[in-house]
Structure 1
Amino acid sequence: MPTPVQAAALKHTLRTVNEAACWVSDVAFERGVPREYELRKHTYAELRERGLGAQVAQHVIKKVRDAYTSLHANLRAGNLGKKGSKRWARAVSKPITFRPQAAQPYDDRCLSWQYDAQTVSIWTIAGRLKGVRFACSPAGLKILREHRQGESDLIERDGVFYLIATCEVPAAKTCAPDAFIGVDLGIVNIATTSTGHQAAGRNLNRYRRRQAALRAKLQKKRTKSAKRLLAKQRRKESRRARDINHRISKTIVTEAERTGRGISLEDLTGIRERVRLRKPQRVALHSWAFAQLADFIVYKARRAGVPVVFVDPAYSSKECAECGHIDRLNRVSQALFTCRGCGVVAHADRNASHVLARRGQDAWGAGRKSHVPATQPTS
């Protein structure tokens, strides 16, 4: 919550350090992206002449080197397409650039926190700014005071400044669960649990279809204002999906903690590569934030001491939770499950969640069993 004068200094600082980062990136690209120490020899003196402090100059160099490390990791993992593809060639053909409002890391030499007054003292190009107020919830302030570690990032988004602090909150002691809650993830129903909770995805899917239609209109215009609006709409859609995933994960973890159960999740790693769908269905699949929801459940469960296991989801939609009979014809429709073995009729996602709950219980039991061979009695 800076004053107008403080906001102007912060804005000028971010623009200056990111312009410097772009220059360091050009140098790194020309020299084949050397190691950080060698890159420092070619750029540190120039950064100091541009008005950057010693620590800030070091952080700018490290930020650039980390960006190239991430780029090379994505290239090796195939996240930017196959080698020689257009997307791959575009990524390696030019230096990495940094937006004027991109995040800048600050360590404790450049930034100090006054928790009681809820102010910070921060380095800027115009000098040290003291008494810059920040807003924080009481619970967040308590976590910040007790668990803040390492660097914090200053970022500007839509004219608002944020300090992103890293907090290391110790995990609670994991309890021994009495049973497991199975969580079936999907697109029509975002999450269905074996305890009866169902988070429908109807509203989110409808919202995403409206956003897709709006994006198509804006992309046809090809104007600067359309591109700015596209970026704004993308962030808005991302925030909405993230908020929904936070609420769903909190409900599931709270229920597990209250009933003394663990959580059994599907291991959906690589599902986008495995599944083959028609073109209209691909948008829904690639918009599915299942990994984010799983991450939220895992970190909330660790803080609550709730155990989480990931199980193989194979045939969970075709297996009967009552008798274990597996048949492709069991899944009559998206919502209806009718077992060809025992005749039980159930909601398809609810049945799958019970199957996953049982698999989670089996996986937990197998992990607790001793696999050490029994010793032979000596005569």
Structure 2
Amino acid sequence: MKLVTQIRLLPTPGQAAALEATLRACNEAASWASEFAFDKGVQRTFALREHTYREIRARWNLGAQAAQHVIKKTCDAYAALKANLKAGNLGRPGTRRYRKATGKPVAFRAGSAQPYDDRMLSWQITERRVSIWTTVGRIKDVVFTASPEQLVTLALYRRGESDLVWRDGMWFLLATCEVSEAPLNTAPVDFLGIDLGIVNIATTSDGEILAGRELNRIRVRERTLRTKLEKKNTPSAKRRLKKRRRKEARRAKDINHKIAKHVVAEAERTGRGIALEDLTGIRERVRLRKPQRVTHSSWAFAQLGSFIAYKARRAGVPVVYVDPAYTSRTCAECGHMERANRVSQAWFECRSCGFVDHADRNGSRNIRARAWQLWRRGAQSTAPDPPPGQGRGTGRKRSATASGARCASPSL
């Protein structure tokens, strides 16, 4: 399986200037090639290369490999745009958002990532140095830093291209690694159900609540601070906003990584699979009051689900996705489903058998039970795909879908 390892470069001022000039030249060339592709309707790599390759090399002093990557990057951007349009992620045809996306060529920022292959970039991992091509010649002995785990992964599994990225005044190389997978556990003894939520980010069927309120308090504090700084609109307020703009996203990503690592380790230790909710397209299906929209939009459950999926795949743990419809209203003991069972956000009390439990734990137990039933039936999908034209967004749980379940293939 492919993973990306982020390596931070520590260039000298002279090296940083050369990298900045290279990145700017590559992205200017990509924007020019994008305009040509848009005007002439030439968006395939081979055809665009015939029309733009020599001009790119001459005007921006790019090497042969760099020019090839610039052209391929341009074509990949248009391929991604077409995929988003087809999936409905940019609105329906004729809408303002759709016209805005299709009415002008794709533009590349000066700091957009630039791919490098082994002809343009060489690694000396033990010395923590790289030799990298720039428009002013090859720069040797650029220092990089990484954690011991990343260095091991880089040394053993690095394959293919790496992307040069400039972000927040720092330089990074995103190296592609082909990591070996553990054999899939085809005979799990049970499943570990995971209930995803906004108040409690993840609750397991073992009764463990992973993060939640602390992260929400941090988000509220960051949002309040951003609002105050935006109202001030002074130069120092703008500097503080720029410095903090990705802080919340980095913290949420770190928490999601820790939750995913813990969940996969527990499932691997106990010989179980992992049961997750299929929350595909939920943002397009729900309607929220204004105070709820910001909190709901910042719910990074799709990221958490993807982290659990790839870590489980690497560990050989099977993952099954089930339809979450009515899992919060169904009793995990007797199976009775009633809206009144959900007394409050945190409290569940069955009106039939009197069973009482934390609402999220009860939901995770229902998710576990559905996954186990699906696995014993062969884990075949029983839920239809989203209607055409509806984006594959993510969001709150389903509230009016059938109670059938949907799952991914056991082989991931």
Please report the TM-score for the alignment, with normalisation by the length of structure 2.
0.85
What are the within-5 Å matches in structure 2 for residues 178-327 of structure 1?
Answer: 178-217=189-228, 232-327=243-338
Aligned letter for 2:151?
A: L
> Does structure 1 residue 91 correspond to structure 2 residue 101?
yes
Give the number of equivalent residue pairs: 369
Aligned letter for 1:289?
A: A
Report deviation, 1:212.
3.2
Aligned letter for 1:360?
A: A
Helix, strand or coil: the match of 2:310?
Answer: helix
> Does structure 1 residue 45 correspond to structure 2 residue 50?
no
Rounded to whole Å, the distance in 2 between the matches of 1:319 and 1:12 is: 60
Helix, strand or coil: the match of 1:320?
Answer: coil
Report deviation, 1:53.
0.1
Helix, strand or coil: the match of 1:183?
Answer: strand
Rounded to whole Å, the distance in 2 between the matches of 1:96 and 1:117 is: 39
Rounded to whole Å, the distance in 2 between the matches of 1:229 and 1:290 is: 28
Could you tell me whether the CA contact under 8 Å between 2:43 and 2:78 is conserved in 1?
no
Report deviation, 1:4.
2.0
Could you tell me whether the CA contact under 8 Å between 1:33 and 1:68 is conserved in 2?
no
Q: Which blocks of at least 5 consecutive residues in structure 2 are unaligned? A: 1-9, 381-412
Question: Counting helix residues as a fraction of each chain, which structure ranks higher?
Answer: 1
- Give the equivalent residue in structure 2 for 1:4: 13
Within the candidate set 110, 119, 127, 1:109 is matched to 119
Distance of aligned partners of 1:309 and 1:368 in 2 relative to their CA distance in 1, 3 Å threshold: closer
Identity of aligned residues (%): 63
- More displaced, 102-111 or 17-26? 17-26
Helix, strand or coil: the match of 1:134?
Answer: strand
Report deviation, 1:130.
1.5
Aligned letter for 2:286?
A: V
Report deviation, 1:42.
2.1
Rounded to whole Å, the distance in 2 between the matches of 1:274 and 1:320 is: 25
Within the candidate set 8, 11, 18, 2:27 is matched to 18
Rounded to whole Å, the distance in 2 between the matches of 1:343 and 1:174 is: 40
- Give the equivalent residue in structure 2 for 1:343: 354
Report deviation, 1:124.
0.4
Report deviation, 1:143.
1.2
Report deviation, 1:59.
0.4
- More displaced, 303-312 or 89-98? 89-98
Report deviation, 1:19.
1.4
Could you tell me whether the CA contact under 8 Å between 2:195 and 2:277 is conserved in 1?
yes
Deviations 1:151-187 (A, max 9, x none): 1000111221101001111211122221111100000
Could you tell me whether the CA contact under 8 Å between 2:38 and 2:105 is conserved in 1?
yes
Report deviation, 1:337.
0.3
Report deviation, 1:207.
2.4
Report deviation, 1:226.
7.0
Report deviation, 1:224.
8.9
Aligned letter for 1:269?
A: T
> Does structure 1 residue 72 correspond to structure 2 residue 82?
yes
Rounded to whole Å, the distance in 1 between the matches of 2:226 and 2:42 is: 36
Report deviation, 1:277.
1.8
Rounded to whole Å, the distance in 2 between the matches of 1:21 and 1:224 is: 33
- Give the equivalent residue in structure 1 for 2:175: 165
Could you tell me whether the CA contact under 8 Å between 1:111 and 1:121 is conserved in 2?
yes
Select the structure of larger CA radius of gyration.
Answer: 1
Aligned letter for 1:208?
A: R
- Give the equivalent residue in structure 2 for 1:122: 132
- More displaced, 22-31 or 201-210? 201-210
Q: Which blocks of at least 5 consecutive residues in structure 1 are unaligned? A: 370-379
Pick 1 or 2: higher relative contact order, CA cutoff 8 A, min separation 6.
2
Helix, strand or coil: the match of 2:344?
Answer: coil
Rounded to whole Å, the distance in 2 between the matches of 1:283 and 1:178 is: 40
Aligned CA-pair RMSD: 2.0
Distance of aligned partners of 1:229 and 1:99 in 2 relative to their CA distance in 1, 3 Å threshold: farther
Distance of aligned partners of 1:114 and 1:153 in 2 relative to their CA distance in 1, 3 Å threshold: same
Rounded to whole Å, the distance in 1 between the matches of 2:369 and 2:70 is: 51
Rounded to whole Å, the distance in 2 between the matches of 1:66 and 1:22 is: 13
- Give the equivalent residue in structure 2 for 1:374: none
Rounded to whole Å, the distance in 1 between the matches of 2:101 and 2:231 is: 24
Within the candidate set 91, 98, 101, 1:81 is matched to 91
Deviations 1:195-227 (A, max 9, x none): 121024222222222333444455567899877
Please report the TM-score for the alignment, with normalisation by the length of structure 1.
0.92
Distance of aligned partners of 1:305 and 1:243 in 2 relative to their CA distance in 1, 3 Å threshold: same
Rounded to whole Å, the distance in 2 between the matches of 1:5 and 1:332 is: 64
- More displaced, 15-24 or 216-225? 216-225
- More displaced, 276-285 or 149-158? 276-285
Could you tell me whether the CA contact under 8 Å between 1:112 and 1:121 is conserved in 2?
yes
Deviations 1:213-248 (A, max 9, x none): 444455567899877765654422211111110011
